[in-house]
C-alpha cells in the first residue's frame, strides 16, 4: 500500500466500465453453472464409455453414436420413449378437453354450486398428503381393470387438471360474451358455441395450458413408477432411466444413462428453443390463477 494510491481517483467512465465488467462476469458465471449439466450430458452421450469414466473431458474426443443404439435397442429405451409419448399426448388432450369444458361452463353460466366447485379446484392445488393418495388411486384402477395399462396413469394425470383449469379461466375473460349471444341468435347452441367460437378463440391459452400438461406428464416420475412396479414393459422414460441407477453395475452403465437422459430431455429442449416464452407463461399463468 503506497501513498500515491490514496490520491488516485477513478474517472467516472472507468468506474462504470468496471461495474459493467463485474456485472457481466457474474451473469455469465451463473449462466455457465446452470448450463453445465445440460451441455455435459448432451456432449457426454457421444463419448465412449472409457472416455466417460476416465477421460476428464467435456468435449468428446471421438463422436460415436453407439450409446444411443445400445440404449435404444439393448436397454429398452425405444419402449420407454413410446410409453412416454403415449402418456404425455393422451394426458395433454384429455386435460385440455376436461379443463376447457368446465372453464367454459363456469365462466359463462351462473349455476348452483359454482363457488363450491371453484373452492374444490383450488383446494386440490394446495392440499398434499404426498404418496398416500397413490394407494387408493391404484386400488381404484384395479377395480376398473386399468392397472395393467398406461390408461390408469393417464386418467390420474388428467384428474389433476386444476392448474390448467385456472390458466384457462384467466383467459376466458378476454372472450366477449356478446359473441356467444350473437352466435346463439344465428342458431348455434351451447355446444356449437363452445366448439366453433370459444375453442378457436382460446387457442393461445390452450397452447399454454397444453404445454403445461405435456411438460408435467412428460416429467412425471412417481406415479408411473408405482403403476409399473409389476409391469416393467409399461415404464416411461424417467422410470426406466432411474432404474439404471439402482440396477446391477450402475457405475458401468454411465454411457447408457447419458444417452437415456438425453432422450428424456431432448424433446423439451427442442420445444424450448423455439418457444421459451410459452414455457415461462406456464409458470406465470399457474401462479396468477
Report 82-121 residues binding another protein (CB under 8 A).
97-99, 101-102, 104-106, 108-109, 111, 117, 120-121
From 3-11, 72-80, 129-137, 169-177, span contacting another protein (CB under 8 A): 129-137
Closer residue to another protein, CB minimum distance, 48 or 219: 219
Cα 167 to Cα 157: distance, rounded to the nearest angstrom: 17
User: Taking Cα atoms as reference points, which of 270, 259, 221 lies closest to residue 73?
Assistant: 259
Cα 125 to Cα 61: distance, rounded to the nearest angstrom: 48
From 1-9, 67-75, 186-194, 199-207, span contacting another protein (CB under 8 A): 186-194
| Minimum separation from the CB atom of position 36 to another protein (A) | 8
Cα 217 to Cα 140: distance, rounded to the nearest angstrom: 20
Closer residue to another protein, CB minimum distance, 1 or 251: 251
Site for another protein in 199-258 (CB under 8 A): 215, 218-222, 225-226, 229, 237-239, 241-246, 251, 254, 257-258
CB-CB contact of 194 with 180 (8 Å)? no
Binding-site string for another protein from residue 49 to residue 88, where x marks contact by CB under 8 A and - marks none:
---xxxxx-x------------------------------
Cα 77 to Cα 80: distance, rounded to the nearest angstrom: 5
Site for another protein in 22-51 (CB under 8 A): 23, 27, 30-31, 33-35, 37-38, 40-41, 44
User: Is 155 among the residues that bind another protein (CB under 8 A)?
Assistant: yes
| Minimum separation from the CB atom of position 2 to another protein (A) | 31
Measuring CA to CA, how many Å separate 85 from each of 75, 190, 217, 268? Answer: 18, 33, 9, 12
Closer residue to another protein, CB minimum distance, 14 or 32: 32
CB-CB contact of 236 with 87 (8 Å)? yes
For residues 47, 49, 51, 52, the Cα torsion angle rounded to the nearest 10 degrees is 80
Amino acid at each position: 500500500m503506497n501513498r500515491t494510491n490514496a490520491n488516485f481517483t477513478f474517472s467516472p467512465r472507468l468506474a462504470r466500465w468496471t461495474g459493467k465488467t463485474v456485472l457481466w462476469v457474474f451473469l455469465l458465471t451463473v449462466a455457465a453453472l446452470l448450463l453445465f449439466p445440460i451441455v455435459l450430458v448432451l456432449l457426454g452421450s457421444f463419448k465412449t464409455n472409457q472416455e466417460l469414466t476416465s477421460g476428464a473431458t467435456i468435449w468428446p474426443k471421438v463422436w460415436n453414436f453407439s450409446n444411443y443404439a445400445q440404449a435404444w435397442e439393448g436397454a429398452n429405451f425405444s419402449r420407454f420413449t413410446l410409453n412416454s409419448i403415449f402418456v404425455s399426448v393422451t394426458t395433454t388432450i384429455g386435460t385440455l378437453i376436461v379443463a376447457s369444458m368446465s372453464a367454459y361452463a363456469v365462466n359463462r353460466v351462473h349455476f348452483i354450486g359454482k363457488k363450491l366447485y371453484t373452492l374444490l379446484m383450488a383446494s386440490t392445488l394446495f392440499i398434499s398428503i404426498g404418496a398416500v393418495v397413490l394407494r387408493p388411486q391404484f386400488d381404484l384402477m384395479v377395480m376398473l381393470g386399468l392397472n395393467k395399462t398406461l390408461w390408469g396413469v393417464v386418467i390420474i394425470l388428467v384428474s389433476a387438471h386444476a392448474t390448467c383449469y385456472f390458466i384457462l379461466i384467466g383467459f376466458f375473460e378476454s372472450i366477449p360474451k356478446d359473441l356467444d349471444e350473437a352466435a346463439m341468435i344465428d342458431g348455434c347452441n351451447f355446444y356449437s358455441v363452445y366448439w366453433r367460437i370459444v375453442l378457436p378463440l382460446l387457442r393461445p391459452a390452450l397452447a399454454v395450458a397444453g404445454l403445461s400438461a405435456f411438460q408435467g406428464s412428460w416429467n412425471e416420475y412417481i406415479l408411473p413408477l408405482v403403476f409399473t412396479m409389476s409391469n416393467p414393459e409399461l415404464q416411461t422414460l424417467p422410470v426406466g432411466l432411474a432404474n439404471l441407477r439402482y440396477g446391477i453395475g450402475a457405475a458401468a452403465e454411465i454411457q447408457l444413462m447419458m444417452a437415456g437422459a438425453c432422450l428424456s430431455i431432448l424433446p423439451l429442449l427442442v420445444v424450448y428453443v423455439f418457444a421459451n416464452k410459452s414455457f415461462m407463461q406456464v409458470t406465470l399463468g399457474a401462479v396468477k390463477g
